[in-house]
A and B are shown apart, each in its own frame.
Chain A
Amino acid sequence: MDRVWNRGEQDRQARLARARAAGLGRIVDAARIGELLRAVLVSGDRLCIEGNNQKHADFLAESLAQADPAHLHDLHVVQSNLALPCHLDVFERGIAKRLDFCYSGDQGLRMARLVKEGRIEIGAIHTYLELYSRYFVDLTPRVAFVAAQSADREGNLYTGPNTEDTPAVVEGTAFKSGIVIAQVNELVERVPRVDVPADWVSFVVKAPRPHYIEPIFTRDPANITEIQVLMAMMVVKGIYAPYEVARLNHGIGFDTAAIELILPTYAESLGLKGKICRYMTVNPCPTLIPAIESGWVEGIHCAGSELGMEAYTAARPDVFFNGPDGSMRSNRVFCQLAGHYADLFIGSTLQVDPEGNSSTATASRIAGFGGAPNFGCESRGRRHVSRPWLKAGLEAARPAGGTMPRGRKLVVQMVETFREKMQPTFVEKLDAWKLMDEFGLDLPPVMVYGDDVTHFVTEEGIAHLHRCATVAEREQAVRGIAGYTPVGLARDHAAVERLRERGIVQRPADLGIDPRLATRDLLAARSIKDLVRWSGGLYDPPRRFRNW
């Protein structure tokens, strides 16, 4: 009996034939998108809607949400970010049923309701790398919707600086006999560069309006507080300097923006130029401009781009990864990998428990964590040696009886002890536990586990958690920098003093930091306009960030 080995390809050809029979060619008119979706989508299909951190195939997603659920239903959506109402309309209307995703941000509340109503069956909440990987294992899309800047008549795609997840989505689909539909902002004679070759693309639609994109990495320096400046000083003097951290990954909050903005001032005064922060895996955050311009940061690989930074990144090809056409190309998979194997990750969080576990999960929302868990974890498969990795590894407490030396990644969490409205950041029990009960999850949704963290930084001090030999010691180190929160007030004062004598808890004074320097004057740029000035006019901030 002859076995058929190309069922996928036969199925693909049948779908393409249905589109041809409907009179649809490779370039499809936006007005006929409904016909295209009817021709190539089948109930029960696994569908990837490109929903990245920033760029979204929003026209295709909206068109899908208008499909007739009597004809098209039970889709299994595999999508990294659900950011737009139409992404959930697809479930509310009964077109899709099952969902594997990474992050839902602002849609988290509605997502939670739809899960409770049984309209969404969650396969799993992944991190980015886990979901992209599964595209190449058992969550391979039959059909993928992607977004690009432009296409030529052949179907070659130019993604522009916001390449993001497109390569992973397209490769997983096109190389497993799937159908790739691209929405583009413009059809051109010749694309500036080929980011996706035409023979991987089945259909191209020029969308009625440019794809949705969100400037989520722009932090206005005007909103950076003196406490953030103080904490940034502590990070530079207490962590970056002694470990000589040259290759690192920054989060995207105001805390890390403050670090970026004191490199040309405070870090310069400490003589650290050329020793720290030379290579970064991070988006082109506008607050990096002064550090780039003054020669601190030599190389940056980006997961995505940032609105307004296009001309600036294009003009700095020695720093960014730009194509032969001159414009930047981002790639979330490579950036996530580079960040995972960097020497240090630093980011913020919303809640921390006494074991040092932290989470941004809050009550009644299903939001996920995107990429933070892969950045904010020990990279246990790492073997190459660097000074910071070796230092952290050698000073880390070893399990009792263990003899084998190894290195360790620096994972730093930077938080103020209280958030807005006097909400304590430090809590005895994470809300994640409540969320687990409420939604019947197998585990509490923890973003960064305490045993992966090497350092916690608050305005009260630095806790060197990796040097704590026991969970009890780690708990006192966390309480020791938790300030006047209930968790902090419940500390064992004598135990914390002993940790301080061993340098496991360090106060700003122990680091020789003059609190009088912790003012906004230390920021190399104090406004968006300052950033524009530093960039020589190349940075073109979105209107919402302009007050001139």
Chain B
Amino acid sequence: MEHLVFEFGPFPDRPRPAASVIVGVVGSGNLEALCEPAPLGGRLRVEVNSSVHGFGKTWEAVLGDFANRVRTPDLLVTINDAGATPAVVGLRLAQAAAELGVA
């Protein structure tokens, strides 16, 4: 299990998340992402627990693009990953953003 933490922002003067959202499931090649409001000083924080090692750079790139797209302050995203491809990660995050109303 690899544990990775990324922080982006801060994103001042942007709407904060109103509620919590969970998308996806933990299954082979898939992941679940829990998005919830948290006091992060206006930053967006992503914690990744992945069953696969060695893709830190890819996670950073995928999550960086996500953060730049949604620019949501005080959002904590917890990802439990079971070997999802960047395509699946991107789709789940897009679904979460749509649910949060920040897409």
Contact = CB atoms under 8 A, between A and B. Distances in A.
B61 A418 contact: no
B91 A226 contact: yes
B95 A483 contact: no
A515 interface: yes
Contacts of B90: 459-460, 483
A484 B58 contact: yes
B95 A515 contact: yes
B87 interface: yes
Contacts of A516: 95, 98-99
A528 B68 CA distance: 42
Nearest to A227: B87
A418 B83 CA distance: 13
A227 B98 contact: no
Nearest to B89: A484
Contact of B87 (A416, A509, A514): A416
A505 interface: no
Contacts of A227: 85, 87-88, 91
A402 B94 CA distance: 43
Contacts, number: 46
Contacts of B98: 514-516
B103 interface: yes
Interface in A475-526: 483-484, 489, 508-509, 514-516, 518
Q: Tell me whether chain B's interface is mostly helix, strand or loop, or mixed.
A: helix
A483 B99 contact: no
Given A226-B91, A484-B58, 19 more contacts: A225-B88, A227-B85, A227-B91, A230-B91, A416-B85, A417-B87, A422-B55, A422-B85, A459-B87, A483-B86, A483-B87, A483-B90, A484-B62, A484-B86, A489-B61, A508-B94, A509-B94, A515-B91, A516-B98
With most chain A CB atoms within 10 A of its CB, the pick from B58, B62, B87 is B87
B94 A418 contact: no
B91 A518 contact: yes
A72 to B, nearest CB: 52
Interface in A410-440: 416-418, 422
Nearest to B24: A226
Interface string B60-94: 01100000000000000000000001111011001
A418 B91 contact: no
B91 A459 contact: yes
Contacts of A230: 91
A459 B87 CA distance: 6
Contacts of A459: 87, 90-91
Contacts of B85: 227, 416-418, 422
A227 B84 CA distance: 11
Q: For the side of the interface on A, what is the size category?
A: 20 to 34
9 contacts: A225-B88, A416-B85, A422-B85, A458-B87, A459-B87, A459-B90, A483-B86, A484-B61, A489-B61
A226 B92 CA distance: 10
A6 B20 CA distance: 86
Contacts of B95: 515-516, 518
A483 B94 CA distance: 14
Nearest to B52: A422
A145 to B, nearest CB: 44
A225 B88 CA distance: 9
Contacts of A518: 91, 95
A227 B92 CA distance: 10
A226 B88 CA distance: 8
Report, nearest first, the 9 A-B pairs whose CB atoms are least far apart.
A515-B94, A459-B87, A484-B86, A227-B87, A418-B85, A515-B95, A516-B95, A516-B98, A484-B61
Contacts of B87: 227, 416-418, 458-460, 483
A328 to B, nearest CB: 37
A222 to B, nearest CB: 14
A505 B48 CA distance: 30
A308 B58 CA distance: 44
A458 B98 CA distance: 20
Interface in A390-423: 416-418, 422
A514 B103 CA distance: 10
Contacts of B55: 422
With most chain B CB atoms within 10 A of its CB, the pick from A227, A460, A489, A515 is A515
A285 to B, nearest CB: 24
A509 B58 CA distance: 22
A515 B92 CA distance: 8
A508 B95 CA distance: 12
Contacts of A460: 87, 90
Interface in B14-71: 55, 58, 61-62
B53 to A, nearest CB: 12
A499 B95 CA distance: 25
With most chain B CB atoms within 10 A of its CB, the pick from A458, A489, A509, A516 is A516
A95 B44 CA distance: 70
B86 A418 contact: yes
B32 to A, nearest CB: 14
Contacts of A226: 88, 91
A230 B98 CA distance: 15
A278 B53 CA distance: 47
A508 B87 CA distance: 12
B59 to A, nearest CB: 9
A226 B103 CA distance: 19
